[in-house]
Amino acid sequence: MDIQNIKNRFNIIGNSPVLNYAIQVAEQVAATDLTVLINGESGVGKEVFSQIIHSLSARKHNPFIAVNCGAIPEGTIDSELFGHEKGSFTGATEARKGYFETVNGGTIFLDEIGELPLGTQARLLRVLETGEYIRVGSSKVQKTDVRVVAATNRELLQQVQNGKFREDLYYRLSTVPIRVPSLHDRPEDIHLLFRKFAADFANKYKTASVQLDEEARQVLINYPWPGNVRELKNIAEQISVLSTDKLITAEQLKKFLQPYSSNRLPALSSSATTQPEFSNEREILYKLFFDMKKDVTELKRLFVELVQNPDLAASYPQLAGKLHEINATGTELITPIAPSLPTSVTPLGSASSVPVLHAGFPTTTTAIQEHEEIDESLNIMEKEKELILKALKKHKGKRKDAALDLGISERTLYRKLKEYDIEE
């Protein structure tokens, strides 16, 4: 079955290359029994891809069930998935089959897999590896033949690093990963989707379909769509019901959109997803700045230590000659010791004002007698932390959007959160 037929069958709208690729992967993996992990933001339609996989597989005539792991209380999730015996806990008045038993031979879609408790993750791992499970309150091992398709809107690798998700389960689930693109990653599909939703609601409410003028189309495309397709559908319905004019202008459209700042922080263009090398260059520059800061700070500390205690010069033969010149002439700048550094050295990222060395060090001095206080107002680390906090606040804690806004990768943002001890 070609991609267009799949789109028609499952009512998928869009011609974006990233969307077509995700559909192609789902079609190819459907014929196998491999476990699939579907990644994507909330509202992008991850469940549709699980239905594609099941419907095109050899299990298509067997049961399919979708389970939202985040909607089931932690105390009952094991019972829901694996069943329980009568009297195994308070309220268990009779034995009950779990999903893995009732869907035997079919497919189970575990949405929001990242919400599973660690204990349940261990049980799930056993099912995936051996096909075996035990009901709550039982000691009898049972077998099941179920294909698992999981989905998450979180970065599971970050949860693995935080100890909230089992690493072995992650790699067992992601045998074949599928990333469903966000709406802002497929701008060419936004107006197409809006027209489809507007036509559907016009038919539903027996009214004329709303249209957008050219300026309104640009506003629609430039909006970030944090709620993805689900948000776009809601906006189309609101406009269809509440708008008296059927030709919508940009000003009218903006009344239905959530306010957001179009003034992005140092950020890449939307092409960042197709040109990741820009992000890599930025990461290299950050690393260079921090390494430079460490080197300069260490050089300053060493030089001050040698000036304060000349007897230590023998331990540093490369600096001993320069220190002798300082003691002999009483006039020397810091430049000859580190020719690549400016005469006045201000270490990057220092937390306080830094004394800058000048000419004139007496032979017997034990302290630096002359210095200037340089008031640092451009601290890179503080500014970077401030930008990260602003980006997280702007995007309501969504790391992916914040990283895109800052022009860095999600992995780099996660490392910065740990480095600066930032709690989300």
Instruction: List, in order of start, the domains of the chain with CATH numbers.
Output: 3-181 (3.40.50.300), 184-254 (1.10.8.60), 265-424 (no CATH)
The confidence score (pLDDT) of residue 335 equals 41
The confidence score (pLDDT) of residue 357 equals 42
Name the amino acid, one letter, at 170.
Y
Q: Which residues pair with 179 in a beta bridge?
A: 39
The confidence score (pLDDT) of residue 400 equals 85
Strands (DSSP E) contained in 237-328 are 247-248
Strands (DSSP E) contained in 214-371 are 247-248, 354-356
Q: Using the predicted structure, report yes or no on whether residue 411 has a pLDDT greater than 70.
A: yes
Q: Which two tokens stand for residue 281?
A: 């260059």
Q: Ranked by mean pLDDT, which of 1-5, 87-91, 204-208 comes out on top?
A: 204-208
Q: Using the predicted structure, report yes or no on whether residue 200 has a pLDDT greater than 60.
A: yes
Mean pLDDT check: name the lowest of 47-51, 73-77, 233-237, 277-281: 277-281
Q: Using the predicted structure, report yes or no on whether residue 144 has a pLDDT greater than 90.
A: yes
Name the amino acid, one letter, at 1.
M
The confidence score (pLDDT) of residue 231 equals 94
Residues 27 and 150: their CA atoms lie apart, in Å, by 16
The confidence score (pLDDT) of residue 117 equals 94
Q: Cα angle at 103 between 102 and 108, to 5 degrees? A: 135
DSSP H helices in 60-213: 77-82, 99-102, 118-130, 156-161, 167-173, 190-205
Average pLDDT, the chain: 81
The CA distances from residue 118 to 54, 77, 163, 194, in Å, are 27, 11, 9, 41
Higher-confidence residue of 261 and 120: namely 120
Higher-confidence residue of 66 and 281: namely 66
The confidence score (pLDDT) of residue 362 equals 43
Q: Which two tokens stand for residue 43?
A: 């509202």
Q: What's 297's DSSP letter? A: H
Name the amino acid, one letter, at 300.
K
The confidence score (pLDDT) of residue 284 equals 61
Name the amino acid, one letter, at 111.
D
Which of the four pLDDT bands, split at 50, 70 and 90, describes residue 166? very high
DSSP H helices in 15-114: 17-30, 46-55, 77-82, 99-102
Residue 220 near residue 191 (C-beta atoms within 8 A): yes
Nearest to 7 by CA among 48, 42, 41: 48
Q: Using the predicted structure, report yes or no on whether residue 346 has a pLDDT greater than 70.
A: no
* Residues in the chain, overall count: 424
- Residue 329 Cα to chain centre, angstroms: 58
The confidence score (pLDDT) of residue 409 equals 82
Residues 42 and 53: their CA atoms lie apart, in Å, by 19
Name the 3-class secondary structure at 194.
Answer: helix
Mean pLDDT value of segment 149-174: 94
Higher-confidence residue of 372 and 47: namely 47
Task: Burial-class residue 247 by CB neighbours within 10 Å (0-12, 13-18, 19+).
Answer: exposed
The confidence score (pLDDT) of residue 332 equals 42
Name the amino acid, one letter, at 327.
N
